[in-house]
Structure 1
Amino acid sequence: MSREATPFDGHSVSAATRSFLSERHGLLIGGQWRPSLSGATLDSHDPATELHLATVASGGAADIDMAVTAAHRAFTGPWSRLKARERAGLLVRLARLLERDAEMFTELEILDNGMPRFIAGLTVSNCVEMFDYYASAILRIEGVTTTPPPHVTADAEALTYTLREPVGVVGLIVPWNVPVSTLTLKLAPALAAGCTVVVKPAEETPLSAIALGRLIQEAGFPDGVVNIVNGPGESAGAALSTHALIDKISFTGSTEVGRKIVQAAAGNLKKVSLELGGKSPVVVMPDADLELAGSGVSMATFFLQGQNCMAGTRIFAHASIHDELVARLEAFTGFFTLGHGLDPANNFGPLIGGAHAGRVLGHVDRALNDGATLVTGGAKLDRPGHFVPPTILTDVRTDMAVFRDEIFGPVMAIHRFETEDLEQIAAMANDSVYGLSGSVWTRSLSTAHKLVSRIRSGQVSINCHGAIATNIPFGGYKQSGWGREFGREGLDAYLETKAVTARL
């Protein structure tokens, strides 16, 4: 793909990306791109430069209603008549188109979200894999035969079996931190199951969803199977959550908003999947490999600038290794190069916006007032963009807000502990309303597996952190959510089970 110079902080982007950004961007409803009924728009900005990228249509309740109606019409019409192999073929075709346009999608994620190029490239590649994975899973959607009920077989033969059927029309509400990846991990299994969807992207990062909508049309999906309505959460998102023709909502975002969605879904008792907040414990034991932990624990916290739900920002460091670990963690921050993600030399991008950066740094200030010690970072860089460097705090008590609240930024809070009693350590790790991820760092397999079995999180890793993949189910305990995404469980979330008994 040819490249030409653009004004994005002195870096170049592909001609395809530049062309995409220059166009008008509407809502995808019933196979047509159209402005919002109100005429409202929202702007996308590059968080690394604060420059304007694009203007997109901003929908509200009336647009959502049109999109849901289109999705319902498609579900009961052409989409329901497609054979399983035809659905699989469409997903494979979409995977190939995304593979073809991977450079543009990578650049859109960098520009819209601020993520470094190596992360953006990985997420786009993973999206291709997810469409392929769930395309193959379509042909493995199958029921079972079982013993018929006795009252039917008392005087006759009978057959009992189950069918797996799509839930129906699904609303997908997507966050801003990994936009195209989070959309795909919901969209691919929903389409594989035979559902139709209405997508509500985050208003901060609308671009990759629009680009994916164009590929969905190019792949040949029937009109109305996928609808995309950008807009604010309080209007478009709320309307989607309450709509009577929506059979299921899948939401990724904050626990606070998750509660509102549960309340909104009560009207027609629609099904709800939630992947919510986290404050993941990272337990470093006395016998840990500190060279490995120095880099691994740093990445657990600072990957994607800490703007990920499974970030390991709550560090439990045993007193015997605390000082050496802190020294290694501080030294490792030199690995990070802050700057625009379009430059492959940079591996640490900006936060999503100025207000969010202010909230993150507000947590740091409160922690320092409460007695924590700043090791490094702690202040916004004096340059364009919303850059907050890796920040490490020690002398953090477990009752401090910085150790209990999800900050969603590059802030590592370290608590020194002295006990080697695994029950006590697990109790400290579990002292949180969240339970999404976590990790244990030790050379002892016995210690590792005992702690893993005691930590109440949907995912716990040993000598690594955040080990997710398309085939591995991911989700939370407690207030970190309901249900699982990825893997077979991710497909099951969009399927109903129907039991059938036939008297022969």
Structure 2
Amino acid sequence: MTTKPHYQLFIDGTWSEGADGQTMATVNPATGEDWATFACAAPEDIDRAVAAARRALGEPGWRDLNQTKRGKLLFRLADLIEQNAEALGRIETADSGKLLAETASQTAYVADYYRYYAGLADKIEGAVLPIDKADMHVFTRRDPIGVVAAVVPWNAQMFLTATKLGPALAAGCSVVLKASEQAPAPMIELARLIDKAGFPPGVVSVVTGDAENCAIPLTRHPDVDRIAFTGGPDAARHVVRNSAESFAVTTLELGGKSPILVFDDADLEGAANGLIAGNFGASGQSCVAGSRGFVQRSVFEDLANLIEAKSKGINVGDPLVADTHVGPLCTGAQIHRIVETLDQARAQGASIRFGGTPLDRPGNFMAPTLVECATPETETLKVEMFGPVMSILPFDTEEEAIALANDTPYGLGSGVFTQNLARAHRVSDRLRAGICWINTYRAISPIAPFGGFGQSGYGREAGVEAILDYTRTKTTWISTSDAPMANPFVMR
């Protein structure tokens, strides 16, 4: 009989069970069976992890490590991640149900995020200010912001961790990483590589557990200086409230209902592939899923038929098999939510072009689904379902398309398919979204900032500006005069 893996907490450079001895099982979404167990953090464990992070900031092993050497540690971590990408990908697939083809390749690519920030580590610069006082020399420097609480969901977790951990460590911060209790195993395996790379104890701790005993104590902890959160808007509201007492700097990368606009001059083959990528890629479990498709009326039927024809070749099945296109959803709750939302859409006059039902097999499998919507108020155009459901609605004019795209409280991703360069610029400028893909979709890079507006959150991850968010500017004034300080009761 095969023994199931058991994962412990990684706190202050050591492995341990939770203080209250609680454990949880993690389910393989492709089989519906428990495949591993993990230790759950208690509030005492969070106190211990944050205390270790605070201590690490002041100890010579991290405090006195110059920026270039911090970068070398990140380069070492990147190499280890790349070398172990296949193994990490298999663990992530077993834990979340994502395709191995994507988890392994994405993990290998994630190494470049760490390399990107490794290269930036010794390029965090201050400035000498041209101050308006002749007897003063004034300069700025950027210091690490302090202890970071990084909260990461189960989907795209290697990527979403890299966008937080990379800049935080390059800036000299310490990090308590909270992995999702839905699928924490990859993050705990990552902790082994962080330890192997040589980061001092306490610089990175990895914990997991439920909201009450883990997430809430971490995000309201008085010694946390910055919170980097990825998740849903409801949880984010709690995070913001939790940070109110400590005034921790907070960035939120939340969900979305991203629009994809297809104009009548678009390459329909490319547009169909873009809509399929934006909706069925990662089984639709993506915060940038392009689940609101708006198609110019004159090509609406042609495009819908093309998507339907292409979708007949989609293989739904075992995420470990190379030719599988759509795997299971991470949780059974997602299936129920999708079914209920589709029922509401039908009641609103929508028609299901194909799919629309869970698959009758073990695991959390949902058939790729195309919904032809009757009105902009159709429920599938409003609700983030986190599953392989594409909704399309016709439009007539460019102005109408932009209005439909912006009619949402979210603002994360967007897509435009057109061969008209002027239109591409004109429309993308007016879309209320943090990302706009033109004639492509779901592309990422460590060089490109990522984030949204409205209920999709605030702040940006990746790119040069992200590393500055993990620093605080300190201004130093030096008097160059030999004369004593003048009247102490008058501000200079």
TM range (shorter): over 0.9
Alignment of 1:41-440 (within 5 A): 41-77=23-59, 78-148=61-131, 150=132, 152-153=133-134, 156=135, 158-418=136-396, 420=397, 422-440=398-416
In structure 1, the partner of 2:489 is: none
1:273-303 superposed Cα distances (whole Å, 9 cap, x missing partner) = 1000100011111111111111121111111
Q: Secondary structure at the match of 2:277?
A: helix
Shift of 1:307: 0.5
- State the AA in 2 paired with 1:503: S
1:302-353 superposed Cα distances (whole Å, 9 cap, x missing partner) = 1101110001000111110110010011112123211111111212110001
- State the AA in 2 paired with 1:105: L
Moved segments of 4+, more than 4 Å: none
Is the counterpart of residue 472 in structure 1 residue 448 in structure 2?
yes
CA distance in 1, matches of 2:129, 2:306: 58
Shift of 1:51: 2.0
Q: TM-score, normalised by structure 1?
A: 0.93
1:359-382 superposed Cα distances (whole Å, 9 cap, x missing partner) = 122111111121100001111100
Q: What is the alpha-carbon root mean square deviation over aligned residues? A: 1.4
Shift of 1:395: 2.8
Shift of 1:22: 4.6
1:45-77 superposed Cα distances (whole Å, 9 cap, x missing partner) = 110011222111001222111111111111121
Shift of 1:266: 0.7
Q: TM-score, normalised by structure 2?
A: 0.95
1:405-433 superposed Cα distances (whole Å, 9 cap, x missing partner) = 21111111111112x2x333212211100
In structure 1, the partner of 2:426 is: 450
- State the AA in 2 paired with 1:451: V
Is the counterpart of residue 491 in structure 1 residue 467 in structure 2?
yes
CA distance in 2, matches of 1:35, 1:386: 30
CA distance in 2, matches of 1:193, 1:25: 29
Is the counterpart of residue 27 in structure 1 residue 9 in structure 2?
yes
Shift of 1:30: 1.1
CA distance in 2, matches of 1:432, 1:465: 19
Unpaired runs of at least 5, structure 1: 1-6, 8-17
CA distance in 2, matches of 1:159, 1:311: 51
Q: Secondary structure at the match of 1:88?
A: helix
Q: Do the aligned residues in 1 keep the contact of 2:281 with 2:325 (CA within 8 Å)? A: no
Is the counterpart of residue 501 in structure 1 residue 450 in structure 2?
no
CA distance in 1, matches of 2:297, 2:147: 53
Q: Once the two structures are aligned, what percentage of the paired residues are identical? A: 38
1:90-119 superposed Cα distances (whole Å, 9 cap, x missing partner) = 111111112222221011111111111221
1:471-497 superposed Cα distances (whole Å, 9 cap, x missing partner) = 100100111111000111221221111
Q: Secondary structure at the match of 1:312?
A: coil
Q: Do the aligned residues in 2 keep the contact of 1:44 with 1:204 (CA within 8 Å)? A: yes
In structure 1, the partner of 2:484 is: none
Unpaired runs of at least 5, structure 2: 481-492
Q: Secondary structure at the match of 1:459?
A: coil
Q: Do the aligned residues in 1 keep the contact of 2:151 with 2:179 (CA within 8 Å)? A: yes
Shift of 1:23: 4.3
Q: Do the aligned residues in 2 keep the contact of 1:396 with 1:403 (CA within 8 Å)? A: no
Shift of 1:232: 0.9
Q: Secondary structure at the match of 1:296?
A: helix
Q: Do the aligned residues in 1 keep the contact of 2:334 with 2:385 (CA within 8 Å)? A: no
Q: Do the aligned residues in 2 keep the contact of 1:438 with 1:466 (CA within 8 Å)? A: no
- State the AA in 2 paired with 1:457: A
Q: Do the aligned residues in 1 keep the contact of 2:30 with 2:362 (CA within 8 Å)? A: yes
Q: Do the aligned residues in 2 keep the contact of 1:118 with 1:347 (CA within 8 Å)? A: no
CA distance in 1, matches of 2:46, 2:232: 22
CA distance in 2, matches of 1:479, 1:143: 33
Shift of 1:468: 1.9
- State the AA in 2 paired with 1:445: L
